[in-house]
Amino acid sequence: MTDDRLGGDSAQPSLSRRKLLTVAAVATTLASSGSKVVANATAYGRNDDLLTDSARTQGSPPSPLGMRSTETTLARKPALNIASMTPLEDLHGTLTPADLHFERHHAGIPDINKAEHKLLIHGLAERALSFSVQDLLRFPAVTRTCFIECSGNYFPRAGELSAPHMICGLTSQSEWTGVPVSSLLREVGMRDNARWLIAEGADAALLNRSIPVSKALDDALIVYAQNGEPLRPSQGYPIRLLLPGWEGNTNVKWLRRIELSDVPAMSRQETSKYTETMRDGTIRHFSFEQGVRSIITSPAYPNTIEPGWHEIRGLAWSGGGKITAVEVSTDGGKQWQQAQLQGPILTKAHTRFGLQWHWDGTTTEIMSRAVDETGAIQPTLKQIYADRGLGSGFYHLNPITGWIVRGDGELRFNPTG
């Protein structure tokens, strides 16, 4: 047996080969990045001639609302007047600022008065009850971090000049706070023959979806807060349904009614929409869970890179549970290397990954594929269509995607991944 660790002094912690290579890569990156060595830092710090303007004038006073720097231009990317995409390529970490959380709606964003809003729970229950937002605040609160993703979060016709948000910008992650649906079902006395919840929103579409009772009793929440503040109107103010890991359309916003039933509603949003035609001509519906997925967010279009060391960074997630591994290829899928996952690794949540990579200046392709705790592996687009057929539509597409790195350092999306 060989020991992969370097260094034999038992009094000192050993460095793994990977850690040593990472340290060396970082040192080389700094040396080649244009960083300047300051010969006499003490003299530099005391030299008034070297002070910037910010150190010479009084700064701004405190304010009631924090603002981004004027140099920061973060914004969602609107599309087709029905959605806005999260700029994944511009963000760090795993939490999405509330004002950058993707939005998708079917009849615009309603203007709702929280004081007048009520949630009615009725149907197969011992008693029908109506809950105000203030009523919900009296229940013990639960907070959890998870992603929401639109089931149509892939654009097969995206061209090579497409940034990450154009590939899968209809996913975002927040810390959500609310009440377990199970608590409210106990309050109304759900009957034994109830099998479905029909959740309905208060928008002009009265969008509704049928949810199995098993999911409601598992991890479903009715949430009123996002990242520590009340929900924003585009995210369902004042309350929405949260179904961790399930397609975004089931996380009904502006929630106004839940009917307990022994059968699903078979509404427009689960028959003519949000279904997939399979190869054998059958229709797949109620395909709630979002598949395992990843995307490299840097380097990516419109980046241009120089030869040398870079960290390949990205996001991975799965509706099936925790991400257990992400592999990265820097040669178009011929060979794969294990990326490093950044904690905390939460279930049904975005997970950051990274891999140090030395680019030699030749044309290549970088791509990633994720694995979740169920053993599911992110497929290629060809594998998806081989299973479902070419006419299966654009829902629940989670293919491996790649970025061509050209010889001049410019990056291009590879639509076929």
pLDDT digit string (tens) for the chain, length 417 residues? 333 333 333 333 444 555 555 555 555 555 555 666 666 666 666 677 778 888 888 999 999 999 999 999 999 999 988 999 999 999 999 999 999 999 999 999 999 999 999 999 999 999 999 999 999 999 999 999 999 999 999 987 889 999 999 999 999 999 999 999 999 999 999 999 999 999 999 999 999 999 999 999 999 999 999 999 999 999 999 999 999 999 999 999 999 999 999 999 999 989 988 988 888 889 888 999 999 999 999 999 999 999 999 999 999 999 999 999 999 999 999 999 999 999 999 999 999 999 999 999 999 999 999 999 999 999 999 999 999 888 778 899 999 999 999 999 999 999 765
| Alpha carbon of residue 158 to chain centroid | 19
- b vs e for 152-190, b when ≥16 Cβ sit within 10 Å of the residue's Cβ? bbbbeeeeeebbbbbbbbbbbbbebbbbbbbebbebbeb
Name the nearest CA neighbour of 30 among 310, 353, 355. Answer: 310
Q: Name the token pair of 231.
A: 């929900």
Q: What is the set of domains in the chain, with CATH numbers?
A: 77-266 (3.90.420.10), 293-414 (2.60.40.650)
Distance, in Å, from the CA atom of 25 to the CA atom of 23, rounded to the nearest integer, reads 5
Round to whole Å and give the CA distance between 80 and 205.
18
Burial of residue 105, with CB atoms counted within 10 A of its CB: 0-12 exposed, 13-18 middle, 19 or more buried? buried
What is this structure's pTM?
Answer: 0.89
Query: What pLDDT score does 340 carry?
Result: 98
Which residues are CB-contacts of 384 (< 8 A; sequence separation ≥ 6)?
Answer: 397, 398, 399
- What residue type is assigned to position 187 of the chain? E
